[in-house]
Structure 1
Amino acid sequence: MIKLRVSESKQHLETEKGETFFFLADTVWSAFTNATLEGWGDYLDYRKMQGFNVLQINILQQWDASESDLNIKPFEYKEDGSFNFYKRNDAYFERAEKMVAMAVEKGFVPALVLLWCNYVPDTWGSEISDVNNMPLELVEDYIKYVDARFSKYHPIYLVSGDTDFPTDRAIEYYSLALNTIKRLSPHCLTTLHIRGRLQEIPDAFLYSDKLDFYMFQSGHNAQFQNMTYKLAEEFSNKPVKRPSLNSEPCYEQIGYSRNLYGRFGQFDVRKAAWQSLLSGASAGITYGAHGIWSWHKKGKSFGLIGEAFDRPYDWKDALKFEGAWDYAFAKKIFKLYDLYDLEPLDIVLKNTEEIRAASSSDSTKIAIYVPVNTVLKLDKLLEDYEFTVIDLEYRRFGEADVSYEENRTIIDMHMFGSDVLIIGEKRF
């Protein structure tokens, strides 16, 4: 069982033995309601083989999950089809606990959402559907029940799910949830999963000693993909320093939100990862496959509630999307070059923010992500560095063609066909 804490540098997470933990999560919001135990076991085996170590799961029913063959819900139904929060279905939570135990046995850290936005009044989710707002009087008892079920597995608790904080009432809900779970199980790390492109969190959380690290969401809007690095910069510069990571970049093969035609491909999700990692959010990254998060089965319905995405792939097909290997490769690169303490570096001389650069705290390593091939001019003389070009499409390593002029370093165009990561290592 992996037990996590925040590193002394406040840049990443680490195990109780002091080993750096690169947070590499997969998004399986709907697992508890949709996955069979057999399918769950197969899924765990495959993601474990790839190197994933965190699973983001919604404890309660995901409001935009795919239709399921299973008929198991966390609460009894009322006549109008909404939940009766006063009558909990213990069988549902027993099954969910078994799934968590299976994951932990395989070496995963569960990252469990306490209250998705549609369960809390006044949030953007409740504006779409407020039929399942949980009564405030039941929140504390619900958190106590969750704690008794899951905290022994040392999960990370995502106190909120895809939420904004528009009113004092919404903040009250999430403050109660955060304070309760941290009082009951201070050993469990806590964070907030917030709405896409949201840059600010209320002072009640920003300055709370009960919040352990930041998550942000660059999201699935095609016209706002620059949020991968904008939000990374924003959260790494918050007045209270905490590790930060992009917990929901664009999912592979998800349709552009708002019913726009188009899907994000392997290159898009890879670019989102590296732009986040080199812009201040170096604690890790979360992957998502369109078909896994909603646990879709071919022939089943997929509602358009929420972000209105195109139809998912069958989960068994989505499990094999190539982009997951790209994220696993990023984890390997961080370990290979010991990039865990990266800080953004403004040395790229180009009329774009798409190229991202970062350096280690001792300046012995430099990492540069170049999404589109170009001659790279750096506003720094780096004659004492050796450069390697890593082809991120086919995961190959090559030599860089480097020259120098005045106080600048010039890295010529590489010969790979897609995006690359350039690593500079200082010679001693």
Structure 2
Amino acid sequence: MIDLSFNIAKNQRSFTQEGKPFFYLADTVWSAFTNATIEEWSEYLDYRKMQGFNVLQINMLRQWDASESDLNLQPFALMENGDFNYHALNEAYFDRAEVMLQMAVERGFIPALVLLWCNYVPDTWAEMFQKGNKMPLDCVENYVAYVVNRYSRFEPVYLISGDTDFPTERANAYYLKALETVQELSPTSLTTLHIQGRLREIPEVFAQHKGLGFYMYQSGHNSEFQHVAHEIAQHFYHKPEIRPVINGEPCYEQISYSRNVYGRYTALDARKAAWQSLLAGGGAGVTYGAHGIWSWHKKGKKFGIVEGEGFDSPYDWRMALRFEGAWDYSFMKYVFEMYNLIGIKPLDIILNNTGEIRAAGNENTIVLYVPVNTRVRLSINVQDYKFTTIDLAERRFAQTEVSVHEDRSMIDMHSFESDVVIIGTK
């Protein structure tokens, strides 16, 4: 088995693997354990490995809004009314998950396992859609201990919560019990909280908890609030408790706008959310999502078995697997590794009247993301830097001229028609 040795870097802003900088490039594949056949899983893993992905975010339990599946796999025994009997684990389900994790780890992936998605916990926002079938609090420790003891050899990351809003002390007790169980049984495991879209605050009991390894947020799928991709990254970056920051759920490629709003997110939309996250404080990495992969959808099957957030139908998983946007995220990883940008610091040097253009840097490099073509005005003198403009749509590299006047600089309009990253190196 590959020795993953996945840890937080000494500066607390990024990750390392075997002592080397590690760019966290995850794919959202929540429903793999319940929906994917072993043969499909193998095909999926080979394709994502070829693209350079290195983390897989998977829901340990059934995803409440997954697509319909013929596999009929349940993590717990069922009662007469169809609810889970949380006191009776289905060993066959977890046996199969172990096989799938073994396959992933053998290919070099780090599993990031969600322990408690919000619909399993009382009082969360999911209550309006799924009122019953909650896990009793007294079952949380046994369930989490079972998962940790069984899968710790794979060195997974644990996403303690899934899509939660921390509404009450009763709900928070679930997540705290899960976090402390992981910490007790596997103190070296990295943990985080997958929180509700656009949420930027977590309760102090978690923010102050030594067992919490890094911050994860989601900029989400609401068309009115895509600006939070950079706003929330910046917010968590400046928290007094310093941890790596990851946008764990930007808008998925080809998912429709939430709340039954007409429209779908393109590869450009997903790319923009990612680059803005990375340069605003989330420079440890990012997570991709394809509408059809996260729910593991198959053509002809139902979507939204449980009424949810009003998303339009997904693509078949094989088609979604090959969306172009995944290559955009793969290219981000390539650029961050090539220019030594992992964990890069956000910079407040943009004079343009917009928050859409983002800047970040380290001792040798300045990086700018420009989503719409315009002159970019900087509040610093960059005469010691040589700049290159990267056309993100076609992945072309162009020489770039910069004019400098005293303590300010300007980069003229580029020659491309889409978004670009401009990189200056000393």
Please confirm whether the aligned pair reaches a TM-score higher than 0.5, indicating the same fold.
Answer: yes
Rounded Cα–Cα distance in structure 2 between residues aligned with 1:410 and 1:85: 61
1:279-428 alignment runs, 5 A limit: 279-303=280-304, 305-360=307-362, 362=363, 364-426=364-426
What are the within-5 Å matches in structure 2 for residues 136-151 of structure 1?
A: 136-151=137-152
SS of 2:224's equivalent in the other structure is helix
Amino acid at match of 2:349: I
Q: Distance in 2 between matches of 1:198 and 1:10?
A: 22
Counterpart of 2:133 in 1: which secondary structure?
Answer: coil
What is the 5 A alignment of 1:43-54? 43-54=44-55
- Match among 11, 15, 20 for residue 9 of structure 1: 11
State the one-letter code of the partner of 2:313: R
* Residue 341 of structure 1: how far off its partner (Å): 3.4
Paired position in structure 2 for 1:104: 105
Aligned-partner SS, 2:27 = strand
Residues 89-127 of structure 1 deviation map (CA, whole Å, 9 limit, x = unaligned): 100000011101100000000000000000011111133
Query: What amino acid maps onto 1:4 in structure 2?
Result: F
Higher mean Cα deviation, 299-308 or 90-99?
299-308
**Which shifted more, 339-348 or 276-285?**
339-348
The correspondence of residues 90-101 of structure 1 with structure 2, limited to 5 A, is 90-101=91-102
Aligned runs of 1:151-166 on 2, under 5 Å?
Answer: 151-166=152-167
- Among all aligned residue pairs of Structure 1 and Structure 2, give the percentage whose two residues are the same amino acid: 60
* Counterpart residue type for residue 372 of structure 2: V
Amino acid at match of 1:372: V
Structure 1 residue identity aligned to 2:57: Q
**1:36-75 residue pairs with structure 2 within 5 A?**
36-75=37-76
Q: Which runs of 5+ in 2 are unaligned?
A: none
Give the Cα separation in 2 of the matches to 1:272 and 1:44: 25
For 2:307 and 2:228, the matched residues in 1 are separated by 23
Q: Is contact 1:26–1:288 with CA below 8 Å preserved after alignment?
A: yes
Q: 3-state DSSP class of the match of 1:318?
A: helix
How far apart, CA to CA, are the structure 1 residues paired with 2:177 and 2:408?
A: 53
Q: Which residue of 2 aligns with 1:27?
A: 28
- Residue in 2 aligned with 1:184? 185
Letter in 2 for 1:86: H
**Residue equivalent to 1:258:** 259
Instruction: Tell me if the contact between 1:126 and 1:133 (Cα under 8 Å) persists in the aligned partners.
Output: no
Q: SS at the partner of 1:229?
A: helix
Moved more, 224-233 or 394-403: 394-403
Tell me the distance in 2 between the aligned counterparts of 1:421 and 1:307.
33
CA apart distance, 1:3: 2.1
Task: Give the whole-Å Cα distance in 1 for the aligned partners of 2:78 and 2:142.
Answer: 19
Report the TM-score, using the length of structure 2 for normalisation.
0.98
| Secondary structure of the structure 2 residue equivalent to 1:205 | helix
AA partner of residue 117 (structure 1): C
Amino acid at match of 1:276: S
How far the C-alpha of 1:401 sits from its partner, in A, is 2.3
**Which portions of structure 1, spanning 4 or more consecutive aligned residues, are displaced by more than 6 angstroms?**
none
What 5-or-longer segments of structure 1 have no aligned partner? Answer: none
Q: Distance in 1 between matches of 2:391 and 2:21?
A: 25
Q: CA deviation at 1:310?
A: 0.6
TM-score normalised over the length of structure 1? 0.98
Superposition RMSD in Å? 0.9
The residue aligned with 2:204 is 203
Amino acid aligned to 1:203: E
Q: Which moved more, 1:408-417 or 1:250-259?
A: 408-417
State the distance in 2 between where 1:83 and 1:417 align. Answer: 53
Letter in 1 for 2:74: K
SS in 1 for 2:359: strand
Moved more, 29-38 or 338-347: 338-347
User: Residue 182 of structure 1: CA displacement?
Assistant: 1.1
**Contact 2:14–2:244 under 8 Å retained in 1:** yes
Shift of 1:407: 2.4
Cα distance between partner residues in 1 of 2:68 and 2:343: 42
Contact 2:285–2:342 under 8 Å retained in 1:
no
Within 2, Cα distance between the matches of 1:348 and 1:139? 48
